[in-house]
Amino acid sequence: MAQEKLGNPAVVGLGGFGLTTLVLQFHNVGWMPSVGPVVWLGLIFGGLAQMIAGLQEMKTGNNFGYCAFTGYGAFWIALALLFLGNHFEIFQASTTDIGWFLVAWTFFTAILWVGSLRIHGAMAFTFTTLLIGFILLDLAHFGFPELTVVAGYELMICAASAWYMMARIILNEIYGRELLPAGRPWIK
């Protein structure tokens, strides 16, 4: 019996990660005044959808995707709840508190970044820009608020490269050839 063809959960995970990251940066660089869209997208596409994609990665045997998508899905849900909590005065987080929240996620990202270097070039590039973006946001919360804008543009590049990987999986399958290459791993 032929094996049933399964979809790749990464396309949803990368889609939600990229889109929510991109919309937050629209806010961070000042184009989008409100943080409202980030809250709702963070709960649903970046949060719920990416987290489900992450949980589905378990069955594919991919620990990296399992941890990354579930982790960042949880990140977006937690961030959206942080905004909502501040709004409704439940467990209010100050700028410094959110700074420490981001520092913890920077360490988490650093571990995955080491792994990404051995996967392929596109993954290594995405995680390198993500790690730099987190570090810039950390600094923005501890005395260099002007770096929020720098982080904004930098993380737009990160979101685009996550979407590149999404496009790769979808388009290479549809076109039946290597339309978009992944690039060689940075560490062999």
Partner 1 sequence: MRNGLRALAAAAALMLAAPAAAQETPDSSSPSATVDEVIAKVLEAARFLHDKGQAGFSDFNNSARWVWKDSYVFVFSCLDDRMIAHPLRPDLVGRPILQMVDEQGNMLFEDLCAAGEAPDGGWVEYWWPRPGEARASRKISYTKSTPVSFQRDVRVAAGIYDDSMTVEELNERAERAVTPQKDAP
Which residues of the chain form contacts with partner 1 (CB under 8 A)? 24, 27-30, 33, 35, 38, 83, 86-87, 89, 92-96, 98-99, 140-141, 143, 145-146, 148-149, 152
Structure tokens at 13: 């995970």
Give 27 or 120: the residue with its C-beta nearer to partner 1. Answer: 27
The Cβ-side half-sphere exposure at 160, using a 13 Å CA radius, reads 7
Closest distance between partner 1 and the C-beta of residue 91, in Å? 12
Give 32 or 117: the residue with its C-beta nearer to partner 1. Answer: 32
Closest distance between partner 1 and the C-beta of residue 30, in Å? 5
Give 66 or 72: the residue with its C-beta nearer to partner 1. Answer: 72
Cα separation, 91 vs 88, in Å, equals: 9
Cα separation, 40 vs 50, in Å, equals: 14
Closest distance between partner 1 and the C-beta of residue 181, in Å? 35
Helices (H) then strands (E): counts for the chain? 7, 0
Closest distance between partner 1 and the C-beta of residue 49, in Å? 22
Give 100 or 164: the residue with its C-beta nearer to partner 1. Answer: 100
Give 90 or 174: the residue with its C-beta nearer to partner 1. Answer: 90
Q: How far is CA 50 from CA 37, 43, 60, 77, in A?
A: 17, 10, 15, 10
Question: Which residues neighbour 94 within 8 Å (Cβ) at sequence distance 6 or greater?
Answer: none
Closest distance between partner 1 and the C-beta of residue 103, in Å? 13
